[in-house]
Chain A
């Protein structure tokens, strides 16, 4: 974690109301892992007192370029869209715990709902770089909000579902998951809470549905793995990236918690990526995280 002075290289509106901005920030590009985020300071002019958290969308250590992907939802993000190439931005990062990919996992299933693709986008690059096979299931309201495949690597299998059926599967993205659950070794998801809740329920029943037998001696058998540890997350089938309104983003203010089975968990410190079984889904989906 450090304060980074990033320079905007390019800002592009990729979909109605959605932007990707590329910044030159070599220190960040070299150190960020998939799922981690930066806390961005907006201009002081309008009395915006909080930074805005954005998951790092892509990072290229060779060129020192990182990108963030966001929807214009309020004054902070509106301010960002007015930046021009050469403008500088104060970022704090990289922050949080990223996705934990088990080294033995060969088939990764990524599930993204709407802007949730921003959280798993960097994982696509990392997984393909490491020679894994990746399927990305993407759900959107309609064709106008579908993430352009030109922004994705060719090695990826990209499956789209839309609520109105205007492109791809007609229905929810979670409908597609069952087709891939036997194929995939691990799944990673980000999106609206109801989607994550459904996925968590599916993941909880997966072992039973598939009739997976565990043969031989389990690695580390007998030693309990503390819930929430990196090791436990690596062994979990489903990891989810959570969102919450955030204050400090370093774990000091306790503002960004989501309810876990072991009490409140800070999205900025213990998260934003959690194993699905760490989250108290009834409380989380019930309370709802309302976006600014």
Chain B
């Protein structure tokens, strides 16, 4: 199970400090049956001949987002091109798989966000967890943490505040209690890693290295609810790059870095993290906020400040995904206020290749599974055999629309 998920990209066992994502062979999400050979042989920019296929232009290869794993997977899933005729596509045939880098291939792009799904076992009685794209487990630190004083959560308009404070039993206990179970699951489990120092992060990741059942790590450099560590890395470009680089050097696990919205401009940070060797980015963590007691005698949360999540932050997250997608060429996982298929499509259009559902799980635990079905049905209804064509459609500087029908027949 594990071996299949992870593919070493290194030679002679030496980790490459930096991966060049653009070398990955890009195949279009949708390729017109007749256009492929002529386009590649003539060296001209291929165009789709099928009108109405928004974003299906194979020339997405020129575009930053085209380097995302999505086109790759769409192509590899059906190597001879996806013969997607509108009539012939039914939902069962739609391939939703996505490659987040280093062989971390998800069966579908709907993940569950860290902290909202525990270790994947808590919701087991009501959710078929194996149908999820991936599970990001609760933030894990080197040593056990008790977390913040209660109360820790409260509802706010269209959202909630939480200040759990990274309560967790420590990485060794997590591995001991859950890794064996995870190894038997079809769904990849990505361990969310937090720490107070670079050494902490590296130590945790080293222990996760080559543990069966751990499919990847998500670097939580953006937790707003702990005094030391967490946010201090995400708000500083050099610190974010340093911790990413250190972890990258320590592990061959697929590495996702979770960005914080609590910064003035996220783009330089995202760029630095990508250059430091992250395989993918996830955005965003919660926004720092607070609530007062009903009698207004002080802050409501035991920690004073909490992280805001839920539909209230979706516009912020969408902006950050949109910005980041234009400056990095590694896959982006969007997080923030997803409650329905439209939210997923928005994030895909803004340049994300996968999404994480968080707060909405509390109200509707089966939502992530339903989103998978909805996305599949949406692709089928649009005549798409993969959802790659939905990615990045809202980004600027896309190559223009297909020039004209039959252009590829020019000598």
Pick the residue among A2, A264, A283, A290 that contacts B300 (CB under 8 A): A290
Whether B364 pairs with A1 at a CB distance below 8 angstroms is no
- Contact present for B155 and A49 (CB under 8 Å): yes
Distance A189 CA – B149 CA, assembled complex (angstroms)? 23
Which of A1, A251, A263, A289 meets B118, CB within 8 Å?
A251
Give the distance in Å from the alpha carbon of A206 to the alpha carbon of B160 in the complex: 42
Instruction: Give A86 to B295 CA distance when docked, in angstroms.
Output: 37
Q: Write out the residue numbers on chain A whose beta carbons fall within 8 Å of the beta carbon of B361.
A: 248
- Check B126 against A287 for contact (C-beta < 8 Å): no
Count residues of B near A (Cβ-Cβ below 8 Å). Answer: 42
Check A287–B302 contact: CB distance below 8 A: yes
- Check if B178 is an interface residue, CB within 8 A of chain A: no
Question: In the bound complex, do residue B157 and residue A47 qualify as a contact, i.e. CB atoms below 8 Å apart?
Answer: yes
In the complex, identify which listed stretch (A8-16, A141-149, A179-187, A253-261) lies at the interface while the others stay far away: A253-261
Tell me whether A92 and B365 are in contact in the complex, defined as CB-CB below 8 angstroms, given that A47-B157, A253-B118 are known contacts.
yes
Q: A255 — which chain B residues lie within 8 A by C-beta?
A: 152-153, 162, 164
A55 to chain B, nearest CB (A): 18
Chain A residues within 8 Å of B302, by CB: 287
CB distance A264 to B293 under 8 Å? no
Give, as a whole number of angstroms, the nearest-CB distance from B11 to chain A. Answer: 41
Q: Determine if B117 is an interface residue (Cβ-Cβ < 8 Å).
A: yes
Q: Which residue of B lies closest to A268 (CB)?
A: B122
A252 contacts partner chain B, Cβ-Cβ < 8 Å: yes
| Bound complex: CA A24 to CA B244 (Å) | 54
B311 CB contact (under 8 Å) in A49, A254, A290: A49
Q: Write the A1-38 contact mask toward B (1 if CB under 8 angstroms, else 0).
A: 11100000000000000000000000000000000000
User: Is A256 within 8 A of B158, CB to CB?
Assistant: no
Please tell me if the beta carbons of B167 and A257 are within 8 angstroms of each other in the complex.
yes
Complex alpha-carbon distance, A246 and B152, angstroms:
9
Is A92 touching B152 in the complex (CB atoms < 8 A)?
A: no
- With contacts A253-B116, A254-B138, A259-B149 taken as known, whether A248 is within 8 angstroms of B360 at the C-beta atoms is no
Assuming A49-B360, A292-B154, is B126 touching A3 (CB within 8 A)? Answer: yes
Nearest-Cβ distance from residue B115 to partner chain A, whole angstroms: 6
Nearest CB of chain A from residue B306's CB, rounded to whole Å: 10
Q: Can you name the residue of chain B whose Cβ is closest to the Cβ of A255?
A: B153
| Residues of A close to B122: CB separation below 8 A | 248, 250-252, 269
Q: A244 at the A/B interface (Cβ < 8 Å)? A: yes
A47 neighbours in B (Cβ, 8 Å): 157-159, 311-312
Q: Contact check, A247 vs B362: say whether CB atoms are below 8 A apart.
A: yes
Q: Are A287 and B363 in contact (CB under 8 A)?
A: no
The residues of A that contact B310 with a CB separation of less than 8 Å are 49
* A-chain residues with CB within 8 Å of residue B116 when the two chains form the complex: 247-248, 252-253
* CB-defined contacts of B119 to chain A, threshold 8 Å: 252
In the bound complex, do residue A253 and residue B162 qualify as a contact, i.e. CB atoms below 8 Å apart? Answer: yes
Contact B151 A245 (CB under 8 A): yes
Q: Is the interface of B mostly helix, strand, loop or mixed?
A: loop
A53 → chain B closest CB, angstroms: 11
CB distance from B341 to the nearest CB of A (A): 15
CA distance in complex: A79, B118 (Å): 29
Q: Which residues of B contact A259 (CB under 8 A)?
A: 149-150
Bound complex: CA A92 to CA B311 (Å): 22
A41 touches B364 (CB 8 A): yes
Chain A residue at smallest Cβ distance from B306: A255
User: Bound state CA distance, A50 and B155, in angstroms?
Assistant: 7
CA A82 to CA B160, docked complex, whole Å = 24
- How far, in angstroms, from A1 to B121 measured CA to CA in the complex? 13
Indicate the member of A44, A248, A269 with the most B CB atoms within 10 Å.
A248
- B362 A2 Cβ-Cβ under 8 A: no
Query: Residues 105-128 of chain B: 1 if any A CB is under 8 Å from the residue's CB, otherwise 0?
Result: 000000000011111001101100
Whether A69 sits at the interface, judged by CB under 8 Å, is: no
The answer to the question of A233 belonging to the interface, with a C-beta cut-off of 8 Å to chain B, is no
Q: Which residues of A contact B154 (CB under 8 A)?
A: 245, 292
B366 contacts the other chain (CB 8 A): yes
- CB-CB < 8 A to B366: which residues of A? 3
Cβ A289 vs Cβ B149 within 8 A: no
| Contacting residues, chain A, for B117 (C-beta < 8 A) | 252
Interchain CA distance A55-B397 in the complex, whole Å: 55
Is A48 part of the binding interface, using a Cβ–Cβ cutoff of 8 Å?
A: yes
Of B147, B153, B164, most buried by chain A (CB within 10 Å of CB) is B153
From known contacts A50-B363, A253-B362, A290-B293, infer whether A247 and B149 are also in contact, taking CB-CB under 8 Å: no
Q: Which residues of A contact B264 (CB under 8 A)?
A: none
Question: In the complex, which of the residues B115, B118, B152, B359 contacts A49, with contact meaning CB atoms closer than 8 Å?
Answer: B359
CB of A121 within 8 A of chain B?
no
A250 vs B361: C-alpha distance when bound (angstroms): 11
**Given A247-B160, A253-B162, A290-B293, A49:B362 Cβ within 8 A:** yes
Cβ of A247 and Cβ of B126 under 8 Å apart?
Answer: no
State whether B362 touches A51 (Cβ < 8 A): yes
* A residues 233-289 touching B (CB-CB < 8 Å): 244-259, 263-264, 269, 283, 287, 289
Closest chain-A Cβ to B137's Cβ sits at a distance in Å of 10
Subset of 13 A-B contacts with CB under 8 Å: A47-B157, A47-B311, A49-B311, A50-B362, A51-B362, A244-B151, A245-B155, A247-B362, A250-B365, A252-B117, A252-B119, A253-B164, A254-B164
Beyond known contacts A1-B125, A245-B154, A290-B293: 11 more, CB 8 A cutoff: A3-B365, A44-B339, A51-B362, A245-B150, A246-B153, A250-B118, A257-B150, A259-B149, A264-B146, A269-B122, A290-B294
Residues of A near any B CB (own CB < 8 A):
1-3, 41, 44, 47-51, 76, 92, 244-259, 263-264, 269, 283, 287, 289-292
